[in-house]
Structure 1
Amino acid sequence: MYSSFSVSKRLILVPILVMVAQVLLMRSVSSLNMNNAFVYHKCSANQGKYKPESHYKKVLDSGIQELSKDKEAFRGGFVYMDHTDIKEVRFEPERVYITFQCRGDIYGPQCRSCFATARPELFKRCPRDKGAIIWYDHCLLEFSSISTSGKINYDDNFCIDTARARPNAKTHTRDEVLEFLTLFDNLTSIAVTKRNNFVKDVEKPALYAAGEKRFGNKKIYVMVQCTKDLTPKACMECVRHNVVQFQNCYENKPVGLKIGARVFGRSCNFRFERYPFVNAKTSPNYLKF
């Protein structure tokens, strides 16, 4: 036998626990969106090294310094810089090409913060390399002695799978993989045709889109982005190439779709998870399918 008092306590406790769980979930999602974790870096050995007192080092430093003062770069989330020292009279002046881009939902102070983090870390991880690239959750930074603007880079792509599907998971089926690929293709088409609805007077496509869709009793969250030096056609080509190249990263044969995966590159990247990882309110072209 039990009292009505103990029952009432349980009735009160259940909704309180639910509220606590919801608050914790909201906090975890919020902290995830604010997190700017290091992902990966790559030093371009084929471009060679520069000497500490070399002219290349001087041009590189002045280019990075100029970028750090460029408010428009952080406001818009992208810059491609062809930099040289115009004071230096040379037949073939030394040039440095710098690419910086933030994730589509990151601009302003957060974008600047990612650059401030990536800048010293790239020099630390790739000392005296003429070419190097580093990825964070919120941005990528690359410098190179070779012009990269508008060119699709397939050499620096890599994939991280979040988790493997469980062999007995009913939600992970071949049909789900096909549904995911259809969703992803639709999202990519939106990225290369729709402009950034947060930026006025810019008619170029955003080359970024994100969204969510319910798969059975769960949701899947997706994002695709290309660097803005690519044309829409090149962006589509880059993404589709990586979808094929990294099939084993997001598909757990013969079961089906993995729980999540992230494909990174210099030219394009995409990601899907079972939880929200971008800020829907600041994401251009965020859709609920």
Structure 2
Amino acid sequence: MTYSYSLPKRFVSSILAMQFFIIHSVSSLNLTNDYLNHKCFLDQGIYNSGSEYEDNLNIILRSVRNGNYYNNGFVRTSLGREPAPDAVTVMFQCRGDSYGSKCRSCADTAVAGFRRRCLRNKGGIIWYDQCFLWVSAIGEEMPINTDYKNIFSMYNSNNVRGDAKLFVKKVLDFFSELTLKVDKNSEAGDLVILYAEGKKKLGKNTLYAMVQCVELTIDCKSCLIWSIAKLFKNDNIKQGGRVLGSNCEVRYELYPFIRS
């Protein structure tokens, strides 16, 4: 015997609304790990299949994928003797809310993405929503000082409603608070997490923001200040935006995008 059921329209609407809320929440919190950008270091040349450089690169990328990211989500490792052409250095950093298993998962994604997008290039950078990977011949200077060449911006497609100048002032004030927190951490010693995030009410809206520096960066505050200013060089003010590089990252939105 076959049974058929007819649910009340109000009940069906409630189910659909709940599904939309769940999907929207997942999207807002960036539970996915989207590819953002990459740059291959063409000036460093390419390596040959079966070369010692390829062997060293395979070993070092394997160590990145198998690393322990429960401490501060950062690893820097080198293999090979400088200035030998087979030497390689790798730096990997996760976003401040993506440590542990989420960071390890992003490491897998970043390594696979780098191999695919920078095929046989000795060096390059690839950015994802929750991490980035930097690969270079060891003779190339590590980005201890802010590398302003490898920085890019991304923006929310929605314009700010109302007083855009007031909005920018409040966003900048909030970024200043977060930068101050990171700057204090940078003076705390080794193995500190140069990351700060938070939220603040802006009338009917809530502003969410984060700032982060790579552990090696010696001018973290300067990098953050420059990146924050870059967000608002365009008069067309958006509801959200981010600047990413190999030394620091800043982002703001009017929706939650950071895990607790």
Using the size of structure 1 for normalisation, the TM-score is 0.76
Aligned to 1:225: 212
Could you say which residue in structure 1 is the equivalent of 2:170?
A: 179
Q: Residue 78 of structure 2 aligns to a residue in which SS?
A: strand
- Cα contact 2:72–2:192 (8 A) shared by 1: no
Report the CA distance between 1:155 and its aligned residue. Answer: 0.8
- Within the candidate set 25, 41, 55, 2:21 is matched to 25
Aligned-partner Cα distance in 1 for 2:143–2:154: 26
Structure 1 stretches of 4+ moved >6 Å: none
**Contact 1:262–1:269 under 8 Å retained in 2:** yes
Distance in 2 between residues matched to 1:140 and 1:74, nearest whole Å: 17
1:147 deviation in Å? 3.3
Judged with a 3 Å threshold, the aligned counterparts in structure 2 of structure 1 residues 131 and 74 are, in CA distance, closer, same or farther, namely: farther
Question: What is the deviation of 1:28?
Answer: 2.3
1:207 maps to which residue?
Answer: 194
Once the two structures are superposed, the pairs formed by residues 165-176 of structure 1 within 5 Å of their partners are 165=159, 169-170=161-162, 172-176=163-167
2:59 to 58, 62, 81: 62
Q: Distance in 2 between matches of 1:208 and 1:224?
A: 6
1:47 aligns with 2:44: yes
1:239-269: per-residue Cα shift (whole Å, max 9, x none)?
11122334235x52xxxx4111111111111
- State the match for 1:78 in structure 2: 74
- Larger of the two Rg values belongs to structure: 1
Q: CA deviation at 1:202?
A: 7.8
Give the C-alpha shift of residue 26 in structure 1: 5.0
- Consecutive unaligned residues of structure 1, counting only runs of 5 or more, are 1-8, 196-200, 281-289
Instruction: After superposition, give the CA deviation of every residue in 1:59-111 in whole Å (9 maximum; x if it has no partner).
Output: 1111112222322x4553110112227xxxx9847321101111100111111
* Cα deviation 1:133-168 (Å, max 9, x = unaligned): 1111111011011231523111110001112416xx
Counterpart residue identity of residue 59, structure 2: S
Please point out which of 145, 168, 179 is paired with 1:188.
179
User: How much does 1:173 deviate?
Assistant: 2.4
Residues 116-155 of structure 1: pairs in structure 2 closer than 5 A: 116-145=108-137, 146-155=140-149
The Cα shift of 1:204 comes to 5.0
Supply the distance in 2 between the matched residues of 1:83 and 1:149 (Cα, whole angstroms): 17
| Residue range with higher mean Cα deviation, 34-43 or 238-247 | 238-247
Superposed displacement of residue 21, structure 1:
4.8
User: Which amino acid is 2:91 matched to?
Assistant: T
SS across alignment from 1:70: coil
Equivalent position SS for 2:107: helix
Taking only aligned residues, the RMSD between alpha carbons, in angstroms, comes to 2.8
Give the deviation of 1:211 after TM superposition: 0.6
Alpha-carbon contact 1:192-1:208 (below 8 Å) kept: no
How many pairs are equivalent? 248
Letter paired with 2:197: A
How far apart in 2 are the matches of 1:184 and 1:51? Answer: 46
101 and 56 in structure 1: CA distance in 2 versus 1, 3 angstrom threshold: same
1:89-128 to structure 2, matched below 5 A, reads 92=84, 94-128=86-120
TM-score (norm 2): 0.84
Are 1:239 and 2:230 an aligned pair? no
Cα distance, 1:114–1:74 mapped onto 2, change above 3 Å: farther
Counterpart CA distance in 2 for 1:93 and 1:259 is 46
1:52 maps to a residue whose letter is: S
